[in-house]
Amino acid sequence: MATIYLHIGAPKTATSTIQRILARNYKKLLKNGILYPRDQRHGDAHHTLVCDLIEKHQNIKMPDLWYGECSRGQAWQSLLDEISRHEPEIHTVILSSELLFGQSKNLDQMLEDISSYLGGHELKVVAYLRRQDQLYSSFYNQDVKGIRQWSHSAYQFYEVHQMFQRDYHSLLSLWSDSLGRNNILIRPYESEQWLNGDIVQDFCALVNIPSLNSGSVSSNESLGINQLYIKLCLNRIGFEKCSNDDILRLIAKVYPEKPAKGCLYVRSKLYLRYRSQWLLANKKLEQDFLHGETLFEQPIPSAKELKQYAVDRMALAVFFPTLVKKIKNKAFGDHNQLFAQAAALMLAEENLWAALDAQERATLMEWVC
């Protein structure tokens, strides 16, 4: 029987890069007795496996885009069939989906299913952990930017998202209770601690496979300060998920801006509470999983070391006349009304109507309605 490595993320730890390189090296890996299953891959990852578990145990219908051409409810049997076809030539199987890391609801039942499906194989879990403050800010920005189209505050995001319902220690303890503590392989998302400073080489060494050429690491840059606010307002108005990439291109074109870095998206007192919880969880993790070794070499910063997120109202005031001109010229095509409605929302929330003259306001309102 093969050793199966479940690479569960976490999100925002170069999972897409690792998945892309494993997928591109499918034949090379297979020749070396390593299977990176492809029958149930949509793109480069094994999200369909997790989607089937979520639909079964959380009663949530997952979006079609996670499945592509794959059939619902068939992922695990398809995986077992593919593994069976390649036995006994393979000794290692690698499954990768960061969706696994974000599950907390009925996770014990999901883990029972995983153990049942993969019974007879040796199971190991690979988790790269990003410092919590970085994960929070990056993941919030990404969920506003991405197809999930988050439209509320960072506080609400933290309070309701499954990702943050359990800390690192309690989440990985659930995995270890099911699969055994010695089978949980934890690595920090810090380049200083990776093999040769390369996360792909580090991953390959961790799962005991030949080193793969990492090439260029995928970069999914965060939105800028005002870009984030623009996208939030567009999300509040609402549009089809299939149009998300088009909307992002239009935002980048009409309002180019550097990515937001090291932002504090919540008030200092709240961040202080979160930070205390993160530090405690990391200490427990080091004691119970890392034999007392330090997880992160770089400490979680205090609130004073971070820049408080705030919309640049002056920059927006300068931007709005240009935005209205583009709306008037139908520069946003089928999304013209969407951008007009979002502009009206921003003007109202930030009390910036004075940035437009009477004719510009009239033009905007024609498109709003």
* 33 & 117 share domain: yes
Residue 216 has pLDDT above 70, yes or no: no
Mean pLDDT of the chain: 94
Element (H, E) at 360: helix 358-368
User: Residue 71: how many CB atoms within 10 A of its CB?
Assistant: 11
Element (H, E) at 286: helix 268-289
Least Cα distance to 230 among 68, 86, 344 occurs for 344
- CA atoms lying within 13 Å on the CB side of residue 309: 24
For 165-191, write each residue's pLDDT tens digit. Answer: 899 999 999 999 999 999 999 999 999
Bridge-based pairing of strands 184-188 and 122-129 is parallel
* 118 & 233 share domain: no
* 202 & 249 share domain: no
Residue 241 within a domain: yes
pLDDT at residue number 219:
60
Average pLDDT on 131-140 reads 94
* 89 & 171 share domain: yes
* 251 & 202 share domain: no
pLDDT at residue number 195:
95
- Return phi, psi of residue 128, to 5°: -95, 130
* 125 & 232 share domain: no
Compute the radius of gyration of the chain from its Cα atoms.
Answer: 23
Whether residue 358 is preceded by a cis peptide bond, meaning omega within 30 degrees of 0, is: no
* 100 & 66 share domain: yes
Query: Last residue of some domain: 206, 236, 267?
Result: 206
Total structural domains within the chain: 2
CB of 199 closer than 8 Å to CB of 312: no
* 114 & 229 share domain: no
The token pair at 173 is 């303890």
pLDDT at residue number 217:
58
For 303-313, write each residue's pLDDT tens digit. Answer: 999 999 999 99
Q: How far, in Å, CA of 145 to CA of 251, rounded?
A: 11
CATH code, domain carrying 181 = 3.40.50.300
Residue 212 within a domain: no
Q: Is the pTM here over 0.75, yes or no?
A: yes
* 9 & 124 share domain: yes
Residue-range definition of the domain harbouring residue 236: 225-258+312-368
For 239-298, write each residue's pLDDT tens digit. Answer: 999 999 999 999 999 999 999 988 899 999 999 999 999 999 999 999 999 999 999 999
Q: How far, in Å, CA of 328 to CA of 21, rounded?
A: 45
* 48 & 183 share domain: yes
Residue 303 within a domain: no
Q: What percent of the chain has pLDDT over 70?
A: 99
* 81 & 19 share domain: yes
Residue 343 within a domain: yes
pLDDT at residue number 63:
81
For 335-357, write each residue's pLDDT tens digit. Answer: 999 999 999 999 999 999 999 99
Residue 301 within a domain: no
Residue 150 within a domain: no
Residue 306 within a domain: no
H helices within 32-122, ranges in order? 47-57, 75-86, 107-117
Query: Length of the chain, please?
Result: 369
Q: How far, in Å, CA of 95 to CA of 8, rounded?
A: 8
Tell me the helix, strand and coil percentages in the chain, rounded to 5.
55, 10, 35
Residue 65 has pLDDT above 80, yes or no: no
User: Residue 354: how many CB atoms within 10 A of its CB?
Assistant: 10
* 182 & 39 share domain: yes
Q: Cβ neighbours of residue 198 under 8 Å, at least 6 residues apart?
A: 214
For 72-95, write each residue's pLDDT tens digit. Answer: 999 999 999 999 999 999 999 999
Residue 220 has pLDDT above 80, yes or no: no
Residue 358 within a domain: yes
